[in-house]
Amino acid sequence: MSSGSGDLSQFSMLDLFRMEADGQTQILTDGLLSMERGGGDASTLDAMMRAAHSIKGAAAIVGLDVVVQLAHGMEDAFIAAQHGQLQLTPARIDVLLAGVDLILQFSTLDEAGLPAWLEQHGARITGTMNSIAGIAQIQSAPLLEMPPPAPVAPLAVAAVVAAAPPPAPEEAAPQRAQSAPKVAQNFDRLLALASESRINAHQMHPFIASLQRFKRNQATLFQALEQLHDAVVRGGDPALIEQSALTGQKAHPLKQFMLEHMADIESYERRLLGVSKNLVDEVLTLRMRPFRDGVQAFPRMVRDLARSLGKEAQLLIEGEDTLVDRDILARIESPLNHMLRNAVDHGMESQSERIAAGKPAFGTIVLEARHRAGMLSIEISDDGRGVDIERIRRQVIERKMASAAMAAAMSQPELIEFLFLPAFSLKETTSAISGRGVGLDIVHQTIREQNGTVRIESVPGAGFRTFITLPLTQSIVRALVVEVQGEAYAIPIVKVERVLKVPQSEIHTLENKQFFDFGGEHLGLVSAAQVLELGQIGAGAAELPVVVIGAAQRRYALVVDAIRGEQSLAVQALDPIFGKMRDISAGALLDDGVPVLILDVPDLLLSIDKLLHEGGLHQLGARGGPEKRKVKRILVVDDSLTVREMERKLLQGRGYQVDIAIDGIDGWNVVRSGDYDLLITDVDMPRMDGIELVGLVKKDIHLYKLPVMIVSYKDRPEDRARGMSAGADYYLTKGSFHDETLLDAVFDLIGDAGL
């Protein structure tokens, strides 16, 4: 909040001092860091001198004598530096920054806590004041001798109370704590009202469309009247001509009325839509804050952390004026803090190492924010040592996360992904800063919770880069609206990788899981209706509309009923009474006023993982009967990967559609869920052998007519007799058949692939 304008009468003098101290200490911090980097000049010294002078005056008004003395000493130091009598070395800047810290701490204390704090930190305060006086070569005795804590505290408190008595401490603190949430609630309410106005504007469109249809019908009527009049004129009957002309004259005002008022109504709709859009934009603007508001403490943190580790590093911030949603800015502060601390601790070398490597002694970290392609793009880069890729590879092998052969084949981007795993650290010893394996996994999780992405790159010896992409605001989300079981649901567009339609003929089954080929990858199909516990998706469509979500090994194709399209939705939080709803993040209203639930994609991925683990996925696709299929379907059950793939390729080469199961249990589950023309099974398999499987099929009321072929290495007469007794229609030994033998046997049982 700015103290430069507006009605400030409701604030106490101590509140006003806090406001001023907050801004002026930031000027002091920025100026001191700039001087240390060699970027400061006379104007920087002048700005710091004026800031210290302002703090001194404000502190004198509220009776904070200790702050008056601190600020006065700093002011004298800056004046001495302006006259060339004092050089601001890093050690002296340490002392001055300590003074800034004390002023900030004073500004956060209330009257009740001030005496105890002064008593507890008296020695530290005295030491800092004397150090500041010493570097400025100040001879004034009062600055060198701080009054004992006990007399000072009552004096300061009494002066503040006399200036402007604030509410009782137990009442004042809660009021300050509640102000931010109350402001946020006001913003949310304004956004909801603005969203409703936009919906009301959109609801005029169906009315205007109906008027347009009426207008077209009227145009047809007027055209018919004109044609009738022309015919009457050609007939030459004066009476009819007069009557026709009179009818045309009476109809003309109606035609003119429609033309004029339709234009007015359409213009009104455009204005209403424009106003509602501008209203939403203005409310969103109120929620935005410059990037600097969330990162202004980081340069000091980087500088102090580096010095504590015996290093020298600076943080440069670019794009400070980039606007960011206040909620996002608050939530990314911790992830950015993690990344910057990692950059200093892990990546930045000591001065001697940097000089030996031909680098400047001062390490540099750049934090940049900008808008790009409708998103907030944040990049953190440093010129440190980067990440030792081979060290990551060794850690992966030592922790048994992958075999030596697998780790050796991994690319640099694949290895870097391990840094995001919990408890994965390259530090050999733990400290207060790092080495516990906590950091990058938290960064990854937090960014994902904000519907964002994070990616890292490294060049050994040359530095480390982190790329974070986030929505500009969480208040408005661009979403893909889909339909599931007749209800609308929205998926944030940043979580959608692809939208496509999958033909039934391209769907395959492997280990009771359905998939299709997606750029060479077997992408699993999952019913959105099942994940959301809305029942089973309807069958019969020639193509399945799917939404691809997730990444890497957790990428799935979510099958929906229909794709409605993209919309910008004003996010509305769900009532806290519902708690955290599984798979749902928030609600919104579509342009037509229909409520829609926004899906929580990370939750959806967890729900899908659970369904896969339990083996309870519904089978998708048309199962209505032979007339709906284009080719005959065969289920191959065999625990040998080689045999399965050989048989599948042979049969697919002849035009059959082939699904796969890995053992008898898997085969039994699959054969009951699909409409197959032939079952081909091995005998010796884990969990359930082929003889048991054949017996179950032949005893099932729905499957007993299904042709079954046994293909086995067992070729003794008793083995063949056992298979045929169980109900098999054909017994073929693996040791004797070749390509044509298998295909001929299949043809004998079910004919060719076409129907």
pLDDT of residue 170: 35
The two tokens of residue 576 are 């806290």
* Whether the Cβ atoms of residue 728 and residue 709 lie closer than 8 Å to each other: yes
DSSP class of 578? G
* Whether the Cβ atoms of residue 32 and residue 93 lie closer than 8 Å to each other: yes
Phi/psi zone of residue 289: left (φ > 0), alpha (ψ -120 to 50 degrees), beta?
beta
Judged against a pLDDT cut of 70, whether residue 548 lies above it is answered with: yes
The pLDDT tens digits for 60-95 are 877 788 888 888 888 888 888 888 888 888 888 888
Indicate the pLDDT class of residue 158, thresholds 50, 70 and 90. Answer: very low
Q: Higher pLDDT residue, 101 or 551?
A: 101
pLDDT of residue 143: 37
Nearest by Cα to 626 from 521, 722, 717, 755: 755
Mean pLDDT of 283-291: 80
Mean pLDDT of 298-320: 91
pLDDT of residue 200: 67
The two tokens of residue 750 are 């079910």
Domain 13-166: give its CATH superfamily: HPT domain (1.20.120.160)
Indicate the pLDDT class of residue 369, thresholds 50, 70 and 90. Answer: very high
Mean pLDDT of 262-279: 71
Sign of CA dihedral 253, 254, 257, 258: negative
d(CA 460, CA 440): 19
Judged against a pLDDT cut of 50, whether residue 676 lies above it is answered with: yes
d(CA 3, CA 25): 15
pLDDT of residue 627: 41
Ranges 131-145, 159-173, 261-275, 413-427: which has the least confidence: 159-173
Mean pLDDT of 272-298: 79
Indicate the pLDDT class of residue 214, thresholds 50, 70 and 90. Answer: low
pLDDT of residue 137: 62
Indicate the pLDDT class of residue 183, thresholds 50, 70 and 90. Answer: low
The pLDDT tens digits for 624-645 are 433 444 688 899 998 887 788 8
Judged against a pLDDT cut of 60, whether residue 156 lies above it is answered with: no
Nearest by Cα to 518 from 483, 487, 544, 479: 544
Q: Phi first, then psi: what are they for 508, rounded to 5°?
A: -125, 165
Mean pLDDT of 469-492: 86
Judged against a pLDDT cut of 70, whether residue 688 lies above it is answered with: yes
Judged against a pLDDT cut of 70, whether residue 3 lies above it is answered with: no
Mean pLDDT of 154-167: 33
Provide the mean pLDDT of the chain. Answer: 77
Q: Higher pLDDT residue, 669 or 546?
A: 546
Judged against a pLDDT cut of 50, whether residue 703 lies above it is answered with: yes
3-class secondary structure, 245? helix
Nearest by Cα to 652 from 506, 490, 512: 506
> Strand 453-459 and strand 463-471: pairing?
antiparallel
Mean pLDDT of 549-566: 86
The amino acid that residue 227 corresponds to is Q
Q: Phi first, then psi: what are they for 598, rounded to 5°?
A: -95, 125
Q: Higher pLDDT residue, 246 or 294?
A: 294
- State which fold the 626-750 domain adopts: Rossmann fold (3.40.50)
Judged against a pLDDT cut of 60, whether residue 164 lies above it is answered with: no
Nearest by Cα to 469 from 504, 489, 487, 494: 494
Mean pLDDT of 297-313: 90
Alpha carbon distances (Å) from 84 to 28, 78, 81, 87: 19, 10, 5, 7
Mean pLDDT of 122-141: 71
* Whether the Cβ atoms of residue 495 and residue 580 lie closer than 8 Å to each other: no
Nearest by Cα to 608 from 490, 494, 499, 529: 529
pLDDT of residue 166: 35
* Whether the Cβ atoms of residue 365 and residue 463 lie closer than 8 Å to each other: no
d(CA 132, CA 448): 46
Q: Phi first, then psi: what are they for 403, rounded to 5°?
A: -70, 165
Indicate the pLDDT class of residue 135, thresholds 50, 70 and 90. Answer: confident
d(CA 400, CA 408): 13
Judged against a pLDDT cut of 50, whether residue 175 lies above it is answered with: no
pLDDT of residue 721: 86
Q: What's the burial of 526, exposed, middle or buried (CB within 10 Å: 0-12/13-18/19+)?
A: buried
pLDDT of residue 476: 77
Nearest by Cα to 297 from 346, 258, 334, 263: 334
Which CATH code is given to the segment(s) 476-614?
2.40.50.180
Q: Residue 174 CB: number of other CB atoms within 10 A?
A: 10
**CATH 3.30.565.10 is held by the domain 292-471:** yes
Ranges 212-226, 434-448, 637-651: which has the least confidence: 212-226
d(CA 379, CA 366): 8
The two tokens of residue 706 are 């299904």
d(CA 453, CA 471): 10
Judged against a pLDDT cut of 80, whether residue 731 lies above it is answered with: yes
The amino acid that residue 427 corresponds to is K
